[in-house]
Chain A
Amino acid sequence: MSIKAKAAAIGIGELKPLKEPGDNTALGLMAKVTAEAIADAGLEKKDIDGFLVGVPFADPGFIYPASAAEVLGLHLKMLNQVDIGGASPAGMIWRAAAAIDAGMCNAVLCLVADLNRRGDQRPPTVSVMREFEAPYGNIGANCGYAMIAHRHMFEYSTKPEQMAKVAVDQRTNALKNPLATFNDKPLTISDVLNSRMIVDPLHIFEIVSPVSGGAAVIVASPEVAKRAKHPPVWLLGAGEYCNHSSITYAPSLTESPIKIAADSAFKMAGLKPKDMQLVCPYDCYTITVIVTLEDAGFCKKGQGGPFVAEHDLTYKGDFPCNTHGGQLSFGQPGLAGGMSHVTEMIRQLMGRGGERQVKNASLGYVNGNGGIMSEQVGLVMERRS
C-alpha cells in the first residue's frame, strides 16, 4: 500500500509576511489565504470537504479545527489539527493525500496562519520540558540548534563560513521573491559572520525572524485535480519520523530523524535524491539546511559544509535550494514558515516561479522539520507533463 500519486496539490495561497501584526487576527489571515488558495485551485468553497489546520500561537485553543471551520463556513468530511511543530505543513500534505486515498474526502484545505507577538518566548508546554530544560535556560529553539552546530563543527570540522553561505545564497533567491520579508539587499558571508552573535556559533542572520502571515495548500483527488486551473503537482512519496523532543535525548546531535523520513519518501516515489531538480529544506537556522542535505542523502554525512560552499544554491545555480529565500529571508509567520517550502515547491513545479523559475524543474524534495530536529517529514513531488 502506498499513497504514491494518489493526490495532487492544485492550489496555493500565501500572504506576504507582516513585520507588525497590526489589527489582523489569526482567523482573519486564515480566511484571506483560504480564499486565495481556493481561487488559485479554480474551485469553490463548497468543494472543500477536508480540513487540516495548525493551531496558531496567537489564538490557541482545544477543539480548534471545528471552530476555525465554522468561522470559514466549511462543512467537512474530515477535519483535524496537525501538531508536529514546523513539520506540520509538510505533514498535512501526506495526511491529506492519505485521507483522499482512503475515500474520506476529495479536496483538503491545509491551512496555517499566525501573528507574531513580541515579548517573552512562550514557556515550554510539556511538564518534562518545564522541569528539566527551562531551569537551565533551554527555552525556545535557538539553543538546541546552536548545540547541534557546535557538535557538527567538532565531528566534521564544519566552518562558520560554510553555514553562512546558506543564508547568503538563500538571500540571493529572496531578491527575486516579492513576498519575502528580506528582499531588498544581498548578503555576503562577512555580513553574516559580522552580524550579532545570538547563540554561539549562530549569528542573527542565521536565525529565522518571526513575522505574521499565513499560507494554504489545497490537496485534491485525481478527479478534482482534472478541474484545476494550474497543472497538478502530485505527491509521489512521503515519509515521517521522530525519535526525540529535546535534542539532549536524541540518539545523535548530528544524525537526525530526517534520514528515515527522507529514505521512506524516496522509496515510495521510487526515486533518488539525485533525481531531484529542486530542494526545499526547512531552514529555521543555517545548520538545519546542512544537516538536512546530509541526512536526506544529497551529500555524504559530514560533508554538508563543503557541499553548500561548493554548490550554487540559487535558482540559477547547480543545486537550487529554497528558491523563495527560505524562512531565513522569507520570514517565519509561525507554522506558515514551514508551509513556505511546500508552496515554493508547488509554485516552481507548476512553472509559476517567475523571475526565479528553476529551468525544467519537474521533481523536487521538501523537508519539514519540527522542534529541535525532532519531527521530520519528507515529501517527493512531481509535475507530470
Chain B
Amino acid sequence: MSEYTKPLPKPSPTSRPFWDAAKRHQLMLQRCGACGQFIYYPRDRCPNCFADELKWQRASGLGKVYSYTVVHRASSRHFMEPYILAIVELDEGPKMTTNIVADPRAVHVDMPVAVYFDDVTPDRTLVKFKAA
C-alpha cells in the first residue's frame, strides 16, 4: 500500500472522542442537554443555546446528500484523482463535510446515504458515506 499523503485530522482535546469513536467504526455526535440539538463538529459549548451540557451520543449513521460536487481538478496537489465532496445532512440534524464513496454518475442531491468508515491510516479513520 502506498503512503497516505492527504491531510489528516489532528484531534484536539475537544474533538478526540469523535475521532476515537470513528476508529472504532462508531459515529458519535455531541447532543446538548439543554436544547436537545445534536452538534457537529465537536464544540466546548452548545453553539445553539450556549449551555455547557454537551454529552456524546451514538448517531444512526444515516442521512441524505444535501449537496455535492465531483471534483475533477482539486485546488490541492494531494487530491489528484476525481472525488466526490459532499455535505451530508444526518438524520439527527447536523450537516457534515464528507466524501461519498460511489460512482460519480450515481450521486445526486437528496440521495439516502449510510456512514462508511475509511481506515485511511492505522491511526486515523475518516467518516465517509455510501449509498444506503
- Whether A131 and B76, one on each chain, are in contact in the complex, defined by CB atoms closer than 8 angstroms, is no
- Whether B11 and A198, one on each chain, are in contact in the complex, defined by CB atoms closer than 8 angstroms, is no
A7: Cβ under 8 A from any B Cβ: no
| Complex contacts, A198 vs chain B, CB 8 Å | 72-73
Q: How far is the CB of A287 from chain B (nearest CB, A)?
A: 11
- Whether B109 and A150, one on each chain, are in contact in the complex, defined by CB atoms closer than 8 angstroms, is yes
Contact residue among B9, B74, B77 (Cβ-Cβ distance under 8 Å from A135): B9
- Whether B67 and A135, one on each chain, are in contact in the complex, defined by CB atoms closer than 8 angstroms, is no
Task: Give the segment of A23-31, A99-107, A181-189, A247-255 that binds chain B.
Answer: A247-255
| Complex contacts, A137 vs chain B, CB 8 Å | 6, 71, 74, 76, 78-79, 83, 85, 99
- Whether B95 and A248, one on each chain, are in contact in the complex, defined by CB atoms closer than 8 angstroms, is yes
Q: How far is the CB of A245 from chain B (nearest CB, A)?
A: 11
Which residue of A has the minimal Cβ distance to B69? A146
Query: Most chain-B Cβ atoms within 10 A of its Cβ — which of A133, A135, A139, A141?
Result: A135
- Whether A138 and B67, one on each chain, are in contact in the complex, defined by CB atoms closer than 8 angstroms, is no
- Whether B109 and A154, one on each chain, are in contact in the complex, defined by CB atoms closer than 8 angstroms, is yes
Interface 1/0s, chain B 39-76, versus A by CB < 8 A? 00100000000000000000000000011111111111
A200 and B72 contact, Cβ closer than 8 Å, known pairs A123-B7, A131-B15: yes
| Complex contacts, A139 vs chain B, CB 8 Å | 7, 74-76, 79
Tally of chain B residues near chain A (CB < 8 A): 37
A128 to B70, CA, bound (A): 23
Which residue of A has the minimal Cβ distance to B74? A137
- Whether B72 and A248, one on each chain, are in contact in the complex, defined by CB atoms closer than 8 angstroms, is no
Contact residue among A120, A143, A249 (Cβ-Cβ distance under 8 Å from B69): A143
A277: Cβ under 8 A from any B Cβ: no
Tally of chain A residues near chain B (CB < 8 A): 37
Which residue of A has the minimal Cβ distance to B109? A154
Which residue of A has the minimal Cβ distance to B8? A135
| Complex contacts, A146 vs chain B, CB 8 Å | 69, 71
Which residue of B has the minimal Cβ distance to A150? B67
Q: How many A-B residue pairs have CB under 8 A?
A: 106
- Whether A246 and B97, one on each chain, are in contact in the complex, defined by CB atoms closer than 8 angstroms, is yes
Which residue of A has the minimal Cβ distance to B83? A137
- Whether A253 and B7, one on each chain, are in contact in the complex, defined by CB atoms closer than 8 angstroms, is no
- Whether B85 and A147, one on each chain, are in contact in the complex, defined by CB atoms closer than 8 angstroms, is yes
- Whether B96 and A248, one on each chain, are in contact in the complex, defined by CB atoms closer than 8 angstroms, is yes
| Complex contacts, B71 vs chain A, CB 8 Å | 137, 142-143, 146, 199-200
Interface 1/0s, chain B 87-131, versus A by CB < 8 A? 100000001111100001000011000000000000000101000
Interface 1/0s, chain B 5-24, versus A by CB < 8 A? 01111111001000000000
Which residue of A has the minimal Cβ distance to B70? A200
Q: How far is the CB of B48 from chain A (nearest CB, A)?
A: 11
A136 and B10 contact, Cβ closer than 8 Å, known pairs A143-B69, A200-B69: no
Q: How far is the CB of B115 from chain A (nearest CB, A)?
A: 13
- Whether B97 and A131, one on each chain, are in contact in the complex, defined by CB atoms closer than 8 angstroms, is no
- Whether A131 and B126, one on each chain, are in contact in the complex, defined by CB atoms closer than 8 angstroms, is no
B32: Cβ under 8 A from any A Cβ: no
A295 to B10, CA, bound (A): 37
A120 and B77 contact, Cβ closer than 8 Å, known pairs A135-B8, A154-B109: yes
- Whether A130 and B97, one on each chain, are in contact in the complex, defined by CB atoms closer than 8 angstroms, is no
- Whether B97 and A150, one on each chain, are in contact in the complex, defined by CB atoms closer than 8 angstroms, is no
Q: Can you report 25 A-B residue pairs in the complex whose CB atoms are below 8 A from each other?
A: A121-B76, A127-B10, A130-B10, A135-B8, A135-B9, A136-B98, A136-B126, A136-B128, A137-B6, A137-B71, A137-B76, A137-B99, A139-B75, A140-B75, A143-B85, A146-B69, A146-B71, A147-B87, A148-B67, A150-B68, A151-B109, A196-B72, A197-B72, A200-B70, A200-B104
**Chain A residues in contact with chain B, CB under 8 A?**
120-121, 123, 127-128, 130-143, 146-148, 150-151, 154, 196-202, 246-249, 253
**Chain B residues in contact with chain A, CB under 8 A?**
6-12, 15, 41, 66-79, 83, 85-87, 95-99, 104, 109-110, 126, 128
Question: Which 10 A-B pairs rank lowest in CB-CB distance, beginning with the nearest?
Answer: A140-B75, A146-B69, A121-B75, A151-B67, A147-B67, A154-B109, A200-B70, A134-B7, A248-B97, A139-B76
